[in-house]
């Protein structure tokens, strides 16, 4: 059967390596949608992969109409989707106040993630995989104890509301007094994993029976333009192609029920609590 794959934020960095890796593991009739917010950058990236399975597609995860139209297209053309990597992320710039960065950051990394989850998980075919690229910061252990339950909700609207409450606390200056960590990447990543858990909680029985996987993944430190400004020592960072390997193995390999709905790093579950 033709395998249909989608990677968001795939014109550079880890997303590009995921799309290229899917293409290199594809059969001749498979399709890999290499997507990103800018049509020109997406077309250039697809040309760099230079593989017949790759289709360039502009997709801004912050644009609800565009995401809905893409989902309709996948349904009409292919009847569904088999592999999705929700990877798109806005970058953070050191030295720029969080207030100037958090609105687009949350709009892409959190609301964009829940938008893509809402639109594409209903299209996931049996045996498929929907993986949200999060990080090892994506568990409540990285928050103070009184905030551990903040993102524990059973549906995506609840996760969005919890994320927006944190974002608004950053914007109105109350976040430090409330105990939120200074680095805004941490609550954002916990929110991403919470979104995966909320979707997985509703689909667990049917998905595990069908061999379908929904999970968050942690790629480890990856050497990209996004991470480089934040770490003085990048000697432990993996090149994107190497970091993509375990993520591709998880998406395309044999299913392990313990991965379902969890944050997975190199095949091992990073416990939520």
Ligand X SMILES: NC(=O)c1ccc[n+]([C@@H]2O[C@H](COP(=O)([O-])OP(=O)(O)OC[C@H]3O[C@@H](n4cnc5c(N)ncnc54)[C@H](OP(=O)(O)O)[C@@H]3O)[C@@H](O)[C@H]2O)c1
60 binds ligand X (CB under 6 A): yes
Q: At what angle do helices 13-24 and 39-49 cross, to 10 degrees?
A: 40
Gap between the terminal Cα atoms of the chain: 39
* One of 62, 127, 181, 245 touching ligand X (CB under 6 A): 62
To the nearest whole angstrom, how small is the minimum distance from the Cβ of residue 85 to ligand X?
Answer: 9
Binding piece for ligand X, criterion CB under 6 A, among 25-33, 84-92, 147-155, 254-262: 84-92
Binding piece for ligand X, criterion CB under 6 A, among 146-154, 160-168, 216-224, 263-271: 216-224
90 binds ligand X (CB under 6 A): yes
CA distance 27 to 52: 10
Residue closest to 13 by CA, chosen among 188, 222, 220: 222
* One of 219, 244, 259, 265 touching ligand X (CB under 6 A): 219
CA distance 265 to 218: 5
* One of 31, 81, 163, 222 touching ligand X (CB under 6 A): 222
> Are residues 112 and 85 in contact, defined by beta-carbon separation less than 8 angstroms?
no
Of 60 and 160, which CB lies nearer to ligand X in the complex structure? 60
In the sheet with 54-58, reading across from the earlier edge strand, the strands are 54-58, 31-36, 4-7, 81-86, 124-133, 213-217, 263-265, 268-270
* One of 114, 121, 153, 224 touching ligand X (CB under 6 A): 224
* One of 89, 116, 123, 248 touching ligand X (CB under 6 A): 89
Residues between 123 and 182 with contacts to ligand X, criterion CB under 6 A: 133, 135
CA distance 185 to 207: 30
Positions that interact with ligand X (CB under 6 A): 8-9, 11-15, 36-38, 41, 60-62, 87-91, 108, 112, 133, 135, 219, 221-222, 224-227
């Amino acid at each position: 059967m033709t395998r249909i794959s989608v990677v968001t934020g795939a014109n550079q960095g880890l997303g590009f390596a995921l799309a290229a890796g899917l293409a290199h593991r594809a059969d001749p009739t498979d399709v890999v949608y290499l997507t990103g917010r800018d049509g020109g950058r997406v077309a250039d990236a697809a040309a760099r992969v230079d593989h017949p399975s790759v289709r360039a597609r502009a997709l801004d995860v912050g644009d609800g109409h565009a995401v809905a139209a893409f989902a309709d297209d996948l349904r009409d053309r292919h009847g569904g989707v088999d592999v999705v990597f929700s990877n798109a992320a806005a970058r953070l710039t050191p030295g720029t106040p969080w207030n100037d960065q958090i609105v687009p950051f949350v709009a892409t990394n959190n609301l964009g993630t829940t938008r893509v989850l809402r639109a594409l998980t209903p299209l996931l075919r049996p045996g498929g995989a929907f993986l949200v690229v999060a990080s090892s910061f994506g568990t409540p252990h990285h928050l103070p104890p009184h905030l551990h339950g903040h993102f524990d909700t059973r549906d995506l609207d609840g996760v969005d509301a919890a994320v927006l409450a944190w974002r608004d606390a950053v914007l109105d200056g109350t976040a430090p007094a409330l105990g939120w960590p200074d680095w805004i990447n941490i609550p954002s990543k916990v929110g991403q994993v919470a979104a995966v858990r909320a979707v997985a909680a509703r689909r667990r029985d049917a998905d595990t029976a069908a061999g379908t996987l929904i999970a968050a993944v942690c790629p480890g430190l990856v050497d990209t333009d996004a991470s480089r400004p934040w770490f003085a020592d990048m000697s432990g960072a993996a090149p994107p192609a190497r970091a993509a390997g375990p993520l591709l193995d998880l998406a395309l390999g044999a299913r392990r029920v313990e991965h379902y709905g969890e944050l997975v790093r190199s095949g091992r579950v990073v416990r939520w609590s």
